[in-house]
Amino acid sequence: MSCRDVVFEVPVERERVWDWLWSAARRASLESIPAALHADARSALEAALPPRFVLPRTVRFATAHL
């Protein structure tokens, strides 16, 4: 069996990060924020990020022969 990791660089606009976090495992952290504070939390997050940044994502490819 052989494995190879490949890193993909995904450009992300700061306005998309909040929605992405809700779709990922990290949503548990967001669920602890009271709904009434979501708009303020989103604004604070977006203010802390550059307009566009690169999110490295690693994918592992594995092959095996029987």
Which string of b and e fits 36-56 if b means at least 16 CB within 10 Å? eeeeeebeeeeeeeeeeeeee
Looking at the 3D structure of the chain, how many domains does it have?
Answer: 1
Q: 47 is in which domain, residue-wise? A: 2-63
Scanning the structure block, which residue is given the tokens 């989103």?
42
Q: Which residue, 14, 12, 9, 11, is CA-closest to 49? A: 14
Lowest mean pLDDT among 22-26, 38-42, 44-48: 22-26
pTM: 0.67
Lowest mean pLDDT among 21-25, 43-47, 61-65: 21-25
